[in-house]
Chains A and B, each alone.
Chain A
């Protein structure tokens, strides 16, 4: 964030949304980390007068926001697109209860799957849950629209969905600071059972209210300034929203555009008038044909996904070429290069467990986090990964399907934060319904993949203040797991024995692999004593190289060089540890049978 002194600040979409929430007078905000939404709560937690927290999952985060709204304050929940699936249950009924204080749910979609397992289009939730959805195009608009979202929520008695994408969340531009607003609602306990208690009799009455609200919202959408027509060449007109609007403006700067800041409900009359004013109408939107389907349902002829791809991100070039295939740009040809995939860090505790799993011929049911990188070569030790918490249920399902054939062959792996998010209910099921699958919990004390957020097992809250730390061993025992082992994942040979023993059991067991993430601030500050290679002893066996540690590199040698260095004739090269990158975990030393890896003297 940079302040230019005239209330203009250079900030990302997520920083702008945090500022917008502060200016809107949000009092309570909860959520679960997930790229590209994470930095919203991180930034909001730095403002005075706003309570923020990391919830164990998105459902709880949303319910906390609903509670705060019922108590009459403005409330925010944040999550990534797949998180809204988890929070969908309360969303669909909060649509009926409506709100007291303004209630906004930010959902950050990830077209192109930069950091996600699917690229679902969350706009479909607005239609399905019968709630309005706002969609900004850039950080500056995000801040302004978010403030409006709270006003809409209170005026129309509805939760409001607010959708961003990676190219809004992680884009920076100049944003103007604005006035701090406050809610017209008074905080306090108000008993409103007909509105808040959704049993069938009350819900049927609220169902009618929902329809009336959506009718009023449709009416409002017709005149809302953020659903605006930008006059231009009417031979080809565009209806668009979100970041797609920016690509249309660059690809076809002269064209007439209807820019929708609210993508649900749609302003039908405004769309009809715009469609009638242009010769040809093109709907430009990322992912699903959401606007297109609803506009076609109005009986309006238009182009959409017949031209524009429904997969991946759009950009200016894609929009231009899809609509106008004759446009060509001469480009330098791409060059085939080795991939540069992400990797677990040097000294990452997950690597030790995955090294063992890669050699134990098991089916590894994986989960969502840094440890999903265990899938990549050279370890290649993950065989499935579906969604948060799924590893446990999938392993149990496979065990039940295969019976004795599966014994000792299936293991599930999950991180501490993901286990708390939704793995625990899977473990309860494994014990209750009796399968012998083994669960390994990677307890690195933090939610690492999204950039080091504290969680209920970390012992700290979102602000880094001391908080209760869940006792994972006691928790697993409490749900009925009788065998809970704690291992140091850096001790590769010791872990192997514990894992083998656990796999022999005829009942559920848990192994907690506990070592802190090397990116934790205290681990970064700690003085690591690095390991180094005694080149004279290295036989080029590659045992350490197969760990895939970024601090270890393989150096191939020509036969002449092999001879010059005095190595055996068949040696092909040597391994070298970069002392700068080494974090001193010692996993490689445990694998070296030739004493070629030594720890520098402290």
Chain B
């Protein structure tokens, strides 16, 4: 013990970010850490930005991650990986789902989706793991497991064994969706293990 860390989840309402951050929180608690998590509810759920902030360590006071102190960012959408750059530091790891979700101003033709978001984030010298979570989820047979693919990809950057996550997924997910979720976790894990 003695380790501590901050995990920032970012994306768009409806992507299953809440379940992903819950699985990671349970895994950290099962490993004996103290943890706090801040969630976004209300207006932001209507297709707006969603950020969950998960902090762990021997003792956690504040529920909010300070700018410059997120160790891991799990970004469920490309543009939403870049929006929170000021939260990262030079040793951060960013796991990016290479999916584009058009914000209203782009979908209605008022502005365009920035073309170079990935180039920008990979040019900063921080560790970036690209995950085609939507496609990987489709391959295991259920597009709605993209969030668990992301958990799998992020899991290799925390000290817990895969079995800890698998146990939590088994307890959380209805039996008929269990196999597909475990597969989604495994393929996600494989991406970041290279």
Contact = CB atoms under 8 A, between A and B. Distances in A.
A200 interface: no
Contacts of B163: none
Contact of B47 (A247, A338, A545, A550): A550
A243 B63 contact: yes
A548 B108 contact: yes
B35 interface: yes
A138 interface: yes
Interface stretch (A167-175, A208-216, A264-272, A586-594): A167-175
A339 B79 CA distance: 10
A331 B46 contact: no
- Please classify how large the interface on chain B is, using the bins under 10, 10 to 19, 20 to 34, 35 or more: 35 or more
A334 B36 CA distance: 26
Contacts of B117: 335, 337
Given A114-B44, A315-B62, A343-B47, A171 B68 contact: no
A591 B32 CA distance: 58
Nearest to B83: A337
B108 A546 contact: yes
Nearest to B63: A171
B86 to A, nearest CB: 5
Nearest to A575: B109
Interface stretch (B97-105, B174-182, B184-192): B97-105
B8 to A, nearest CB: 13
Q: Which of A173, A243, A377 has the largest count of B CB atoms less than 10 A from its CB?
A: A173
Contact of A331 (B25, B39, B67, B120): B67
Contacts of B193: none
B12 interface: yes
Q: Which of A171, A243, A332, A542 has the largest count of B CB atoms less than 10 A from its CB?
A: A332
Contacts of B62: 243, 246-247, 249-250, 315-316
A114 B86 CA distance: 20
Given A114-B43, A167-B63, A170-B41, A342 B48 contact: yes
A373 interface: yes
Contacts of B44: 114-115, 342
Interface stretch (A50-58, A280-288, A397-405, A552-560): A552-560
A450 B102 CA distance: 25
A174 B29 contact: yes
B38 interface: yes
A433 interface: no
A95 to B, nearest CB: 30
Contact of A553 (B13, B80, B107): B107
B114 interface: yes
Given A4-B29, A548-B108, A338 B103 contact: yes
Nearest to B39: A170
Q: Which of B12, B88, B109 has the largest count of A CB atoms less than 10 A from its CB?
A: B109
Interface string B112-125: 11100100100010
Nearest to B171: A2
B31 interface: no
Contacts of A340: 12, 47-49, 79-80, 103-104
A115 B61 contact: no
Given A331-B67, A545-B108, A556-B109, A450 B36 contact: no
A451 interface: yes
Given A173-B35, A330-B68, A377-B105, A343 B42 contact: no
Given A250-B62, A542-B109, A376 B88 contact: no
Interface in B74-113: 79-80, 82-83, 85-86, 88, 102-113
A475 B85 CA distance: 53
A434 interface: no
A225 interface: no
A315 B13 contact: no
A291 B84 CA distance: 34
B39 A138 contact: no
B64 interface: yes
B58 interface: no
Contact of A334 (B60, B85, B106, B114): B85
A378 B110 CA distance: 9
8 contacts: A170-B41, A173-B36, A243-B63, A333-B86, A335-B114, A337-B83, A338-B113, A554-B107
Given A250-B62, A343-B48, A550-B104, 5 more contacts: A35-B41, A171-B39, A174-B35, A335-B114, A451-B45
What are the 3 A-B residue pairs with the smallest beta carbon separation, nearest first?
Answer: A115-B42, A342-B48, A554-B109
